[in-house]
Structure 1
Amino acid sequence: MYLPQRLSALPPLLCLSLAAQTAPNGGKAPAPAPAAAPAPGALKPFADVVKEAKEHKGLFTLWTKDDKVWIEVKPEQLDMPFFFAVSSTRGTGERGIYGGMMDDSHLVSFRRVGNSLQLLAKNTTFTAPEGSPAARAVAEGFSDSLLSSAPVLSQPHPERKSFLVEANALLLKDIPMGATRLEATYRQPYGFDPSNSFFEKVRSSEDQAAFRVQAHYALSRIMLPPIQMPGAPPMPFVPPPGTLEDIRSLFLGWHFSFAKLPEQPMAPRLADDRLGYFATTRWDFGDDTRVDPKVHYIHRWRLEKKDPAAALSEPKQPIVFWLDRNIPEKYRPAITQGVLAWNQAFEEQGFKNAVQVKVQPADADWDTHDARHASLRWLTGTDIGFAIGPSQVDPRTGEILDADIGIGEVWARGSRTEARETLPPKAQDAFLSRHDHSLCTYAAEAHQEMGFALDLLETRGEITPGSPEEDAYVAAVLKDVITHEVGHTLGLRHNFRASTIYSMEQISNPEFTKTHGLTGSVMDYNALNLALKGQRQGEYVMSTLGPYDHWVIEYGYKPLAASEEKGALAKIAARSSEPQLAYGTDEEALGFMGLEGMDPEVNRRDLGSDPLAFYQKRLSLSKELWERLQARTFQDGEEYQPLRRGLLRALGQVGLSANLSAKYIGGVVHLRDHAGTGRAPITPVPATRQRQALKLLETGIFSVDAFRFKPEFLSRLTTDRFGGPLNADPSPAQWVLRTQTQVLAQLFQPAVAQRILDAPDKLTNPKEAFRLSELYDALQGAIWTELKSGREVSVMRRNLQREHLRQLSAQVLRANPLTPADARALAREALRALQPSLKAAPAKTGFSKETKAHFADCLAIVDESLKASLQRLTL
C-alpha cells in the first residue's frame, strides 16, 4: 500500500505490439545462459545493428525489428539514477498470484564495465554527505545489487556517442523472481524459460520507457504427491495450480517502467510515532553526535500551490487516479466518491481539487501500469477477496511516485459470494526480503462484515436480495473500502484505536455521524454499525472522514516554510493526546502466530467507546441470525446453501468478538505519548474490566448453552456440489471448537500470564489487581460444569473439555520457555483439582457411555500429566 507519482497532462506514447517468433521447447525450462560479449574492437557500427529497425524516441530511444528490441543508452545516462517499477500484468488467478497488481520498485542506474552494461539497484538506505570521509566508509561498507546485465552491441553513434544494448538480453530475465514465487506457492520447481518469453508491447515517451513482458515458466519435472501409507499420519502436500490447462507451462506478465526521477528531490518530512505514516528509513552516518543514525521520512505526494499566497489554491500537480478501463461501469461512481472523499482534508490545508479521478479511455494506447499513472484496477481470480492500496516512493526523500490500487471483483457479487481470507501476493514473499512494509486485508474483512449484515437484514425482512437497497448498501461499503485504500496511497498507516472515540448513542445518530463519522478514521478496520432488533439504527457505514484523518493530512501535507517546519510539526503532533485523535496501529493490534496483541483498545472490526458492549451486541446479533436461519422456510426448488453460509458468518462474528474480548484479560493500554501529556504510556487494564471480559467469555462461548442448534437445521447445512472438495456433511461442533481453541490459546499465552503477574507492581494498590488464579479458576468452572451438575455432556462440550485439558497439560509437560513458573504451577494445580471430580464421575447416574469413557480418558491424561511433571521435578 505504498508508492505513487503524479499524472497531469499525458505525453503521447508510442506503442508497438510484438509477437513472439520462437519455437516451443517441450515444456522444459533451460537455465538462462549469459550472452557472450563481443571481443574488444569487434563491435558493429551503430547503424548496422539497427538497420531496418523502427526508431521510437523518448527517455530512452528504443529500436524495434521483428521480435527484437534495442535500447539506445546515451553517455550522460550512465550512472544516472532512474526510477524502475515492476507490476504484474498476468497471474495464475489463485493463491496470491494475480495479474494487475503493483509489485516492486528500485532506484537504478546503468553502469558500463568494458563491453557489458549492468542494471544496478542502488543501495540508498545508508548515506553520508557526498565527498566526506564518511561517504567513503559507507561506499566500502554496503553494496548495490545487480538486477541484470547484457553485452554492448554497437560502436558509439558517430554524433550522439550513444550505444546499443539488446533489451531482450537485458530484460527477458526473471528480475521479479517469478520462479521463486511459483515454487513457494505450489511447491513445484518452476523455472524461467527465456526462449519462449517475449515483449508484448514496448512504449517510449519523454519521461519514461515501458516494456510489457510475457514471461514463460515451465516444469522440467512434476513433483508428485507423497505416497500415503495406511494408518500413517497425513503427509503434507501442496496442490499444483488449479487454473491451468497444463500445469507444466504458464505465462506470468510483467510490466517494467524506467522513469525520470524528479529533477529536484522533494524536501523530506520527518516522521513522528504519534501519528501514522509509512516511512522510509535511512541511516545517516554523517553526524556522529546522534545516538541513533536512523532518520525516518514519511511517504507523501509532492503538493505545491499554484498560488502560494492564496488561502485556497489548486496544486501545480494534482494527485490524479485513473480508473482502469477494466472496472465495471456500475461501480465507478462509488469508487470515484471513495477517492474524492480525501479532498475534504486537503482543502483544510489550502489545496483545491488536490485529488482527482479520470477514466482511462477504452481505446487508450497507454497502460495504467506505467510508472506515471496512479490507478485503480479490477482484479480477477478464483479466490480474490481483498482490495489493496500499494504505492512506490523515491527512496531518497519518501516522495510517492506511483500508486496502483487493486479491487477484487468479489464486490460485483455482493452478499452471495464468500470473500475468502486470501492475502495479497506479498504475504508469502517475506523470505525474499522484498521491500514491503505491511499488509492490508480491510476489503476482505469488510466484505465478510457486509455478508453477515446482509444475511441478518435479509432474514429480518429489512433488505430484499438483489434490490436497489442492497445495491446501495454494497456501494456504500465499497466506497468506504476505496477511501481506506486511497488513504494508504497517500502515505497513511492503519489507525486501529480510532473506532473507540464515540459512544454507542452517538453512532446511533445518523445526523451526528454524517458530520463527524462513525469513528475517528477511515484508516481503521471499521465494523458495520448494526443495531439490535428494535433499537435505533444509525448509518451502517462510515460515510465521511474522521477527525484523525484531517489531523494526519495536516501533518503530512500542510505547506510549511523550511525554517518553521520543525516547530510547526512538533506543535501538530503534540495534539496526539486529544481524545478524538486517538491512534494505534498494527504493532499494537497484532500479536504473534495468529494471536491478538496486548492493547484491547486497538482492534480491527470493533465500534464504539465500550468495545466489550459492542462484542456483547455482536454475540446477540450472531445468535439472532442463526435462530432466524433455523426458522426459515423454503419454497419448492430453493437451495439450502444460505443456511451454511449464514451460520459460518455468524460463527465468524462469535470468534471475532470472543478473541477481542480475550485481549482485556492481561491487557495493557499502550499509548504513544511523549512527555507532557500527563498520561502513562503503559497502563494495565483495570481488574473490573478484565473480570467483565472473562464473564462475557464464560457465558458467550464456554457455557453449556452458548451454542444450541436444532437437528433439522443441522441436517440442512449442505454446500455447493460444484464448489470443489468441501465436506458435504460438515461438523458444526468442529466449527465451534476452532473458536474455543483460539480463545484458550489467547488466554494461555505466556505473555498474557506475565502481564497479569506484573500488573500489581504497576498499581498503587496491588490488592486491586486481577490475579492469574482468577483466570484459571473461572475457565475451569465454566468448562467442567457437568462434573458438578451431573448433566449429560454433548459432543461440543466434550471437545471443549479435551482442548482445555490439552492446553493445561501442555503447560505442565511441554511448557513454552517463556511461560512463567507461576502459570505452570497454576496449570498443575488445575489438573490436580480435576482429579477427584473425574474419579467420582462414573458413580453418577445419567451419563452416557460416551461421556463416561470421555471422563475416564481425561482422568488418565490428568494422572499421566501430574506423574510426569513430578518425575521431571525430582530429576
Structure 2
Amino acid sequence: MARIACQLNRFKYSLLSAACLSLWAWSSVQAQSPAAPATPPANASAPTAASATPPAAPGALRPMKDILKDAKSTPGFFTLHQKDDKVWIEILPSQLGKPFFFSYNVPRSIGERGLYGSQMGGSKLVEFQKVGNQVQLIAKNTQFFAKEGTPQAQFVSESFSDSLMSSAAVVSAPNPETKSILIEANALLFSDIPGYQTGLEYAFRMPFSLDTRNTSFSSTKNTPLLTGLEVRAHFAVPKLSAPPMMPSPVPSPPPPTATPDPRSMFVSFYYSMMPLPDPMATRLADERVGFFTVARSDLTSDAKIKSKTHYLKRWRLEKKDPSAVVSEPKEPIVYWLDKNIPLKYRATVTEGVLEWNKAFEKAGFKNALVVKQQQDNDDFNNMDARHASIRWFTGADVGFAIGPSQADPRTGEILDADIGMSDGFTRSARRWVVDDLARPRGQDGEMCEEAETSAQELNYALDLLEARGVDLDGPEAEALAKAYLKRTIMHEVGHTIGLRHNFRASTLNDLKKVHDAEHTKIHGIAASVMDYSPFNIAPKGEKQGEYVMSTLGVYDYWAVEFGYRQFPPGQESEGLAQILAKSTQPELQFDTDEDAGYGNVIGIDPMVNRFDLGSDPLAYYKLRMKLSRELWDRLQNMNLATGDSYERLTRSFRSGFAQVANVAPLAAKYIGGVHTRRVRAGTSKPMFEPVAAAKQREALNLITKDFLGVESFKFKPEFIARLATDRLERIDNPSNLQTSVASLVANVQKGILDHVYSPSVANRLAEVGMKVNDPKETLGLADVYDTLQDAIWSEAKTGQETSLIRRNLQREQLRRMTDVLVKPAGPWPADARSIMRENARQLVSLLEKAIAKPGISKTTRAHYADALDSLNATLKASMQRAAP
C-alpha cells in the first residue's frame, strides 16, 4: 500500500494498500531532558601527583569503567552496555555530529482504534550533538539545503530549524583511551519519540501519558550495521472520567475495550540506529507515473523557477553484469516472512511477492525480489531497519493491509519496508465479520482507504456467493481466500517498491473481457494491481471469470521500467524520455488518491474511482445494482433452517446497501464531470475536457430511476420485520435493536444529493459552455436541477401518496435548495441561485395544487404544507435580503 500505502472485508481490509501506509499522526515529538550534573567550581584544586586514587571533585563524572563494572558489553554500530534494567550507549567522538539513520516501529500495540502491532512507524536522518553535559538526538532538516560553503548554505541553516527528538545527560567521564562518552539509553528512549500519545488521544480523547517508571527494555540487538533497542512502553491515565450529567451532542469515543484495564496499556517501540549508505543516484519523478517521492528544495541558485525537486522512492538495484540486458542484482530486495504468518498461507504470500519479478525482469533484473522465511532460531527482529518484512497482525476491530516504507531523505533510496497483513483477510473468507473498522492513515500523503470498503467488498461477495449456494467452509471459499490474499500482497509489495495507487487502471477492459479468465490470467483484470478493484462478480447465469487480479497489469510493468531500468552512462535522460513517450497510451494512464478524492470530497473525473470496474463505469454501476437486487430478492425468499438467527438476513441486507451507497455518488460524479489527462505540450488532447452531455444525461437517468425513483427501494414488510441485530453485542448500543431501512436508503440518496447540489459541481456546470465550441451540446444547471426536482417530487404532480422514504428524500432536496437561497452566496455561482429560486417558485405552485387534490392522506397533506411553508419563507427572506 503505500499507501502504499497499500486498504477481504470479510477479510477486513484497506491497504492504502496503497500505500496503502502509518496508523497515527507522528506529529507529537516530546523530549525528556534530565538535568545536567553540576560542573565543578573553576577554582577547584587539582589532585596531587602523590595521590594513588585521588578523590573525585564534587560533581565530577565517574570513570566509565566504574559505571560499567559487571555490565555486559556488546560492540556494534554504537557499543551497548547492559546491567540489570540499565542500558548505556557509548558514543565515540567521531560519532558526534555525524548523521545516521534512525527509525521507530511498533511491534506490539493495543489492538483497536487504529493502534495495532506489527506496524511501521517513522524515520529520520539524525545525529548526536553534545551541548555542555547533554547529548541531544537531533533530527536534521533535510528538506531545504544549499551547496556547502556558500552564503546560501549559511542563510538556509539560519532560516530552517532542526528538531529535538530526545536527549540524555552524559553519565561518565570520557574513556581515557578512546575519549568516548556514555549516556543512558533509558533516559534517551524512555520518551514518546513516536508521538504515540497523540494517537491515543485521537482514538480515545483521554490524556494518556508515558509512565517511565514502568517502562523497560525488552530486547537489544547490536551489529556493526545496526544498533536496535526494543522498548516496552507503559501508557496510563490515573482515572477514567465520569460520564457527563447531560449527554453531549457530540458523543465521546469509549475508553479502550481490548485491554484488561482501560487505564493501562503496554506498547512496544523498536528503535533502529544504522549508518547511512553512500548516496544513491537519484531519479527525478514525473507526474505521469505514480511513484512515492522525497522532496528537496535546493536554494543554492535563485535562477530556478522552482527550487523543489522530487526524487523517486526506490530500492538500490545494481546489475552484477552491467553489460547484460538482463542480470541478477548485486543485492536483491529481500522480504522476510515473519514467524507469525500461518503455515498454510506462506506459499501464497511468497507467490504474491515474487509475481513482481516478472516486471523487474522486463526492466533488466532477474530475481530482483527474494523471499526468505524467518526461522524459530533466527534471533533478529524483522521490525528493525535492516529487514524488509511481511507480518501478520490482528485486533478487536481490525481489517486492512498496509505497505509503508522508509527511505533515505537525501536520495529517496528505500532502506526498509514492513508490510502489515490483517488476519481478517483470510479469516473473513469463512466467518461473518461485522465489526466497525478503524481507517488507517497512510504515510507519504496517501490515505489508505481500502480498509473499510474492501472489507465491505468481501462481505458483499461472500454474501452473494453464499446466497447462490457456495459453502463458505468449503474449498471454493478457501481458494477465494488465497486468491484475494495473493492480490493483496501484490498490491502492498507494489507500495513497498515505491508505487502509488492508480485509480484509473480499472477502466482498461470492458465488462465482457474481465470475465475472460484466459485473458485476465495473462493481462490482469485491470491495468494495474495498484488500483482498488472490486470483486469481479458476473450476473447469475453468465460466464464467471477470475474474481480478483491474479497477476500484474501492463501499467505495473511500465512503472517498474521507469523506476528501475538502468542505462549506459550519459543515456538515462534519453532512455527515460522514450519510456515516458508511451504515457499517452490508454492502458498506461495514471491517476491517484488526490484525483479520486478523499472521504466525502470526490474527484471530478468519473473515470477515476476507487472500487469500480470496466471501461464504462456506468455499466458497472448498473451491474452492481442488479447484483444487489439479486441478493435482496434471494434474502426475501430465503428459508432459514429452524433455529438460525435472523441476524443472517440483516448482515447480507446491509451488505447490499453498502455497495449501493458506494456506487451512487460515483454515478453522480458524471454530472458536471471533467475528464482529466496527465499530458504535456505536444499532445493533441486537452488536459481538461467536460464529460459529454449524452453521458451526463445517461448518468442522470440512472440516478433518477435507480436511486431516486418511486420504485427504487421496495421490500416485503414481513422481511423488514425480521431484520434483527445481535442481542449479545447490543449491550454497547442499547438503542440499536431494529434496522432502519429508511435510514439506509437516505444514506444512499444523500450521497447523490451532496455531490450534485454542491457549489463545485454548480460552478463546473455554469462554466461548461466556455470549454466547448458548441455550448448547446452541454448539460447545464437548469437541465440538472429540473430533472432532479421532477423526479423527487413526482407524486405531487400525479396526486399519488408519498411513502416515508420519499418524504425523506423530498425534505433533503428542499433543505439543500433553501440553504442556498437563504444563506450568503459564498462559493455558489449566481446562475445556480437564480435557477433554484425559479424552481422554488415552480414547486410552490405544484404543492398548492397538490394540497387541493382530494384523497391524499393527512400525512402527505401535512408534508406538502410544511414544505410549502418553508418555500414561502425562503423566498420571502431571499427577496428581503436582495432588496436595496
TM-score range, shorter chain: over 0.9
Q: Give, in whole Å, the separation in 1 of the partners of 2:31 and 2:592.
A: 44
Cα pair 2:506 2:531 within 8 Å, conserved: yes
Aligned to 1:621: 627
Q: Give, in whole Å, the separation in 1 of the partners of 2:775 and 2:758.
A: 22
Q: Give, in whole Å, the separation in 2 of the partners of 1:451 and 1:422.
A: 13
Cα pair 1:38 1:153 within 8 Å, conserved: no
SS of corresponding position for 2:713: coil
SS of corresponding position for 2:391: strand
Q: Give, in whole Å, the separation in 2 of the partners of 1:451 and 1:603.
A: 20
Higher RCO (Cα < 8 Å, 6 or more apart): 2
Aligned to 1:366: 380
- CA shift for structure 1 position 265: 0.9
- CA shift for structure 1 position 237: 2.1
Q: Give, in whole Å, the separation in 2 of the partners of 1:37 and 1:677.
A: 69
Q: Give, in whole Å, the separation in 2 of the partners of 1:174 and 1:527.
A: 39
SS of corresponding position for 1:155: coil
Q: Give, in whole Å, the separation in 2 of the partners of 1:441 and 1:391.
A: 18
Aligned to 1:445: 453
Aligned to 1:682: 688
Match of 2:698 among 692, 695, 699: 692
Aligned to 1:376: 390
Q: Give, in whole Å, the separation in 1 of the partners of 2:229 and 2:566.
A: 37
Q: Give, in whole Å, the separation in 2 of the partners of 1:779 and 1:181.
A: 43
- CA shift for structure 1 position 816: 5.9
- CA shift for structure 1 position 32: 5.8
Aligned to 2:36: 36
Aligned to 2:312: 298
SS of corresponding position for 1:525: coil
Cα pair 1:415 1:450 within 8 Å, conserved: no
- Summarize the Cα distance change of 1:448–1:700 in structure 2 as closer, same or farther, 3 Å threshold: same
Aligned to 2:746: 737
Aligned to 2:578: 571
Cα pair 2:326 2:364 within 8 Å, conserved: yes
Cα pair 1:31 1:193 within 8 Å, conserved: no
SS of corresponding position for 2:192: coil
- CA shift for structure 1 position 421: 6.3
Cα pair 2:2 2:402 within 8 Å, conserved: no
Q: Could you tell me which amino acid in structure 1 is paired with residue 213 of structure 2? A: S
Cα pair 2:439 2:451 within 8 Å, conserved: no
Q: Give, in whole Å, the separation in 1 of the partners of 2:147 and 2:684.
A: 40
SS of corresponding position for 2:121: strand
Q: Does 1:252 align with 2:252?
A: no
Listed one character per residue, the Cα deviations across residues 440-471 of structure 1 (whole Å, up to 9, x for unaligned) are 2335433322221221122122x222110111
Match of 1:357 among 346, 354, 371: 371
Cα pair 1:375 1:404 within 8 Å, conserved: yes
Q: Does 1:723 align with 2:738?
A: no
Match of 1:584 among 578, 591, 599: 591
Q: Give, in whole Å, the separation in 2 of the partners of 1:421 and 1:522.
A: 26
Percent identity over the alignment? Answer: 49
> Structure 1 unaligned runs (5+)?
5-29, 428-434
Q: Could you tell me which amino acid in structure 2 is paired with residue 610 of structure 1? A: D
- CA shift for structure 1 position 221: 4.3
Q: Could you tell me which amino acid in structure 1 is paired with residue 450 of structure 2? A: Y
Aligned to 2:639: 633
- CA shift for structure 1 position 191: 1.6
Q: Give, in whole Å, the separation in 1 of the partners of 2:438 and 2:578.
A: 38
SS of corresponding position for 2:602: coil
- CA shift for structure 1 position 111: 0.6
Q: Give, in whole Å, the separation in 1 of the partners of 2:424 and 2:195.
A: 28
Listed one character per residue, the Cα deviations across residues 124-172 of structure 1 (whole Å, up to 9, x for unaligned) are 0001112122111211111110111111111222222211111011111
Q: Does 1:159 align with 2:165?
A: no
Cα pair 2:336 2:372 within 8 Å, conserved: yes
Alignment of 1:5-154 (within 5 A): 34-39=34-39, 42-154=60-172
Q: Give, in whole Å, the separation in 2 of the partners of 1:810 and 1:372.
A: 57
Match of 2:282 among 252, 255, 268: 268
Cα pair 1:500 1:519 within 8 Å, conserved: yes
SS of corresponding position for 2:601: coil
Match of 1:772 among 774, 781, 788: 781
- CA shift for structure 1 position 64: 0.4
Q: Give, in whole Å, the separation in 2 of the partners of 1:94 and 1:689.
A: 44
Cα pair 1:388 1:441 within 8 Å, conserved: no
Aligned to 1:454: 462
Q: Does 1:839 align with 2:848?
A: yes
Aligned to 1:190: 208
- Give TM-score, length-normalised by structure 2: 0.92
Q: Give, in whole Å, the separation in 2 of the partners of 1:604 and 1:846.
A: 47
Q: Give, in whole Å, the separation in 1 of the partners of 2:634 and 2:663.
A: 20
SS of corresponding position for 2:302: coil
Aligned to 2:349: 335
- Give TM-score, length-normalised by structure 1: 0.93
Cα pair 2:636 2:719 within 8 Å, conserved: yes
Q: Give, in whole Å, the separation in 2 of the partners of 1:377 and 1:850.
A: 58
How many pairs does the alignment contain?
A: 837
Q: Give, in whole Å, the separation in 1 of the partners of 2:588 and 2:384.
A: 37
Match of 2:769 among 760, 773, 776: 760
Q: Give, in whole Å, the separation in 1 of the partners of 2:810 and 2:864.
A: 10
Q: Give, in whole Å, the separation in 1 of the partners of 2:32 and 2:265.
A: 17
Q: Give, in whole Å, the separation in 2 of the partners of 1:554 and 1:364.
A: 35
Alignment of 1:234-633 (within 5 A): 234-262=249-277, 264-411=278-425, 412-414=427-429, 416-418=431-433, 422-423=437-438, 425-426=440-441, 436-461=444-469, 463-590=470-597, 594-633=600-639
Q: Could you tell me which amino acid in structure 2 is paired with residue 357 of structure 1? A: V
Q: Give, in whole Å, the separation in 2 of the partners of 1:118 and 1:284.
A: 27
RMSD: 1.9
Cα pair 2:31 2:167 within 8 Å, conserved: no
Listed one character per residue, the Cα deviations across residues 95-120 of structure 1 (whole Å, up to 9, x for unaligned) are 11111100111001001112211100
SS of corresponding position for 1:807: helix
Cα pair 1:2 1:393 within 8 Å, conserved: no
Q: Give, in whole Å, the separation in 1 of the partners of 2:460 and 2:825.
A: 37
Q: Give, in whole Å, the separation in 1 of the partners of 2:447 and 2:870.
A: 42
Cα pair 1:225 1:237 within 8 Å, conserved: no
Aligned to 2:818: 809
Q: Give, in whole Å, the separation in 2 of the partners of 1:149 and 1:111.
A: 9
Cα pair 1:750 1:816 within 8 Å, conserved: no
SS of corresponding position for 2:869: helix
SS of corresponding position for 2:879: helix
Q: Give, in whole Å, the separation in 1 of the partners of 2:304 and 2:438.
A: 40
